[in-house]
């Protein structure tokens, strides 16, 4: 709804982000990959520290993603860390979103003793 000209203002509400403010999965994937390599290279799985390590990785990814200046995007980060025993694992998620402006990025890391999966969702608030 436009504000009448007599008030000297125009509406600044946007229904979609500008091109330079969108969630780009390739950029977010690089952030995730860099953090996973930095935090997990050379680490041996320990169930006593896996939870705090997953939380630390999630927080770092979220901080880095927020520094990308994607206004009005809610950033949700999920991190899974487990022991690598040559088992299979599938991570699935469901949400309701706008496929034109909402998106996600994911990366995985695997070493001899552990695996990690990080998923970042970018959901735009209209």
Percent pLDDT > 90 in the chain is 71
Tell me: pLDDT of 7 over 70. Answer: no
Tell me the CATH number for domain 72-126: 3.30.1140.40
pLDDT per position as a tens digit, 81-100: 999 998 888 888 888 889 99
Q: What is the mean pLDDT of the segment spanning 29-57?
A: 97
pTM value is 0.85
What kind and span of H or E run contains 103? strand 103-110
Q: For 72-86, what is each residue's pLDDT tens digit?
A: 999 999 999 999 998
| For the chain, domain boundaries | 72-126
* The pLDDT of residue 3 is above 60: no
Q: Which of 36-45, 54-63, 96-105 has the lowest mean pLDDT?
A: 96-105
State pLDDT tens for residues 16-28.
Answer: 888 889 999 999 9
- Please report the DSSP string for 31-71 in residue order: HHHHHHHHHHTTPPP-HHHHHHHHHHHHHHHHHHHHTT--T
Asked if pLDDT for residue 2 goes beyond 60, the answer is: no
């Amino acid at each position: 709804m436009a504000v009448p000209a007599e008030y000297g203002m125009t509406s600044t509400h946007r229904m979609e982000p500008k091109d330079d403010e969108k969630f780009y999965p390739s950029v977010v994937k690089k952030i995730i990959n860099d953090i996973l390599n930095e935090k997990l290279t050379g680490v041996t799985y320990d169930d006593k520290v896996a939870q705090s390590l997953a939380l630390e990785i999630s927080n770092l990814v979220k901080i880095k993603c927020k520094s990308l200046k994607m206004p009005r995007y809610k950033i949700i980060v999920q991190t899974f860390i487990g022991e690598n025993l040559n088992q299979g694992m599938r991570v699935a998620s469901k949400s309701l979103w706008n496929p034109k402006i909402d998106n996600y990025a994911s990366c995985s890391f695997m070493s001899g003793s552990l695996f990690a999966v990080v998923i970042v969702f970018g959901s735009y608030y209209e």
